Structure 1
Amino acid sequence: MACAVQWSCSPQLISLGPPIAGPYLSTDALITADGARLFLRTWTPEENPRAILVALHGFNDYSNAFADAGVYWSSQDIMVYAYDQRGFGSNEQAGQWPGLDTLVNDLSQAIRIIGAAHPDQPLYLIGESMGGAVAMTALARSRLKVRGVILVAPAVWGRETMNRIYPLALWLGAHTFPWVKLSGQDLGFKPSDNNAMLIALGEDPLVIKKTRIDALYGIVNLMDAALEAAPSIRAPMLVLYGAQDEIIPKAATGKMLARLSGSPRIVIYPDGYHLLLRDLSAEVVLADISAWITGTDGKLPSGYSGEWQLFFEQ
């Protein structure tokens, strides 16, 4: 059926308001320049932190994704900030896609004000899945002032790595019935071996279960941008990927890694799934991240390193 109004059959984005004040932190929120209130969680060490870590969650998730990780890292004297990205979690209009530019702009503001709050500690950025894609795009665009970035199973399944039918079908859906919601429950993908955690996600009302088609269109646009951004990232980088990942294809990740410049540290976890930070063996991953941030000898507790190229050639 044809749309009565063309706008109603186009992908819808959360409206970004005009700047009304400088961004700032409250006790439980990041307040952006346009007045949006992004719910914020923090994990603070008992001692003076050795480093600050800004954490970005994945698609349809929210800041609680770092609940266990935040406790672990704070025990290692790393202070963690994790906010609900616009369109997710406790924020207004959750479920509606905020747009690539808005996600990147929110991150840039977060880095600026959190960095200003901790001028004497090194600032790091970590992104899981979609959060990794946002981090990559922001780093390529604006050279965020961070000491390093950790990408955990970054969402880089861009169109150039997809079956050609998928982008066409997605474009048609996003421009014909963008409001329709889809569930991925019947696709059979296994995001983690931690079944108790997956059950908890299914029961959590803040985790989005059914996704608007235009939001799917938006995340693919973001993955395109992240894949394109790979050669332009100059920050020191730790990239983590699970050999059992069923969400972001191995081929797409391999293509992204081949495009990275500099000398990124790349670790493949043989038993790891997409949600590496919450898998049954998550503590190994968390320890590697902590060691990379605070260590001086370059060694990672897991011992996984070296010939990652062989994994992607198999």
Structure 2
Amino acid sequence: MIRAVLTAAVLMLLAACAPVTQLAGKPDVTFQGPRLEEHAFVSFDGARLGLSEWDPATGEPWAVVIGLHGMNDYANAFHLAGEQWAQDGITTIAYDQRGFGRSPARGVWGGQDLMAEDLRTITALARQRYPHAIIAVAGESMGAAVAIDAFSSDRPPAADRLVLVSPAVWGWSSQPWPNSAALWLTAHIDGPLVMNPPRFLENHILASDNIDELRHMGRDPLMIWGARTDTLYGLVDLMQTAWEKAGQTSIPALYLAGKHDQIIPLHSHFEAARKLRPDDRSALYPNGWHLLLVDKQAGVVWRDIEGYIRDPAARLASHTPPIPGAPTPAEKPTVQATR
């Protein structure tokens, strides 16, 4: 009996030490509402999040891509794709999600609710600024998980297209139990503890085959290397949500993965892709890694995404086969579109 009481007390104490998550701000009476500035996205609560934008040289864009970066990254994740899409008449608006890049409280987990609300807010702002353009949300890794969470909610963002690039779907249900147990304990006992990847992992696990880009990222002071245990806990929570809700988004989605992904296990991609609906699309790139937007064959992915934004029902330009187990909807032939 005494052992049972002590065990219960310890568990209650650990549960009370909840992982730290950012809270919504409380803007003062001078707050003029959310808006897009040159280098900042002012969100619904007055938080100033870093912003990067790539625009066509002339004329109004026919499409706008809202970019959501991955874990420890920031808006610059879209710099190569954004430059190419701008040449094709597409505006790319990417922002630093809470806790990352130029945004406040670097390293502290933003929380699913706040991150989803930021996405709803910036999508509405893009719709207001570009009323005649196709509005697409493209999330990479963690950003794709945020998008799945938001688009499967009862208040989905007001976008026309959804693109999921290497979505982070490696949640609790597919984590090895020692990982889950250790992460739960460290996040609840010592939230601010920063974990850095072991050197042997850095040398043997690659996010992309584009080594020059990886080196550039490694020298970028806005990147975060290492992560707080409570942030990792929040990330796995988000990945579990994305894994569970894949196929439940309010609009059809394009799910892209690379056969050489060393960050998210392929079995997690396969399990999530099996939940997709018949009107969702998918592709497994045989030469793709995790960071599909910067891989050596990234141009193939950019063109597929652009084609999907133009016409979700058309065959992908690369003719890349779908993810095994995913639905294979009837496709219509690719048509060369004109603007």
Shift of 1:234: 3.0
Shift of 1:199: 0.9
2:209 is matched with: 193
- Alpha-carbon distance between aligned partners in 2 of 1:32 and 1:49, rounded to the nearest angstrom: 23
Within the candidate set 167, 173, 186, 1:154 is matched to: 167
2:71 is matched with: 59
1:144 is matched with: 157
Residues 1:44 and 2:55 aligned together: yes
Select between 201-210 and 180-189 the one with higher mean Cα deviation: 180-189
Which deviations, in whole Å up to 9, do the C-alpha atoms of 1:258-288 show, x marking residues without a partner? 1122421111100110001001111111111
Runs of 4+ in structure 1 off by over 6 angstroms are 5-8
* Partner SS, residue 241 of structure 1: strand
Shift of 1:196: 0.8
Shift of 1:210: 1.6
Q: Is the 8 A contact 1:147 1:236 kept in 2?
A: no
Distance 1:89 1:50, change over 3 A: same
Distance 1:93 1:8, change over 3 A: farther
Select between 181-190 and 209-218 the one with higher mean Cα deviation: 181-190
1:123 is matched with: 135
Which deviations, in whole Å up to 9, do the C-alpha atoms of 1:67-114 show, x marking residues without a partner? 111001111111110000010001121111111111111111111111
Residues 1:18 and 2:26 aligned together: yes
Which deviations, in whole Å up to 9, do the C-alpha atoms of 1:54-77 show, x marking residues without a partner? 000000000011111100111111
Within the candidate set 222, 226, 232, 2:242 is matched to: 226
State the identity %. Answer: 37
Q: Counterpart of 1:112 in structure 2: which amino acid?
A: A
Within the candidate set 253, 270, 279, 2:286 is matched to: 270
Shift of 1:296: 7.9
Shift of 1:10: 3.4
TM-score, normalised on structure 1?
0.92
- Alpha-carbon distance between aligned partners in 2 of 1:176 and 1:218, rounded to the nearest angstrom: 15
Distance 1:8 1:232, change over 3 A: closer
**5+ unaligned residues in a row in structure 2: which ranges?**
1-9, 327-339
* Partner SS, residue 152 of structure 2: helix
Higher Cα radius of gyration: 2
Q: Is the 8 A contact 2:282 2:323 kept in 1?
A: no
Shift of 1:294: 2.1
Q: Counterpart of 1:38 in structure 2: which amino acid?
A: L
Q: Counterpart of 1:161 in structure 2: which amino acid?
A: S
Which deviations, in whole Å up to 9, do the C-alpha atoms of 1:2-41 show, x marking residues without a partner? 9xx9899531122322355421111221111221101111
- Alpha-carbon distance between aligned partners in 2 of 1:213 and 1:306, rounded to the nearest angstrom: 35
Distance 1:266 1:38, change over 3 A: same
* Partner SS, residue 319 of structure 2: coil
1:241 is matched with: 257
Residues 1:168 and 2:144 aligned together: no
**5+ unaligned residues in a row in structure 1: which ranges?**
none
- Alpha-carbon distance between aligned partners in 1 of 2:270 and 2:94, rounded to the nearest angstrom: 28
TM-score, normalised on structure 2?
0.86
Distance 1:215 1:92, change over 3 A: same
- Alpha-carbon distance between aligned partners in 2 of 1:7 and 1:172, rounded to the nearest angstrom: 9
Q: Is the 8 A contact 2:14 2:189 kept in 1?
A: no
* Partner SS, residue 58 of structure 1: coil
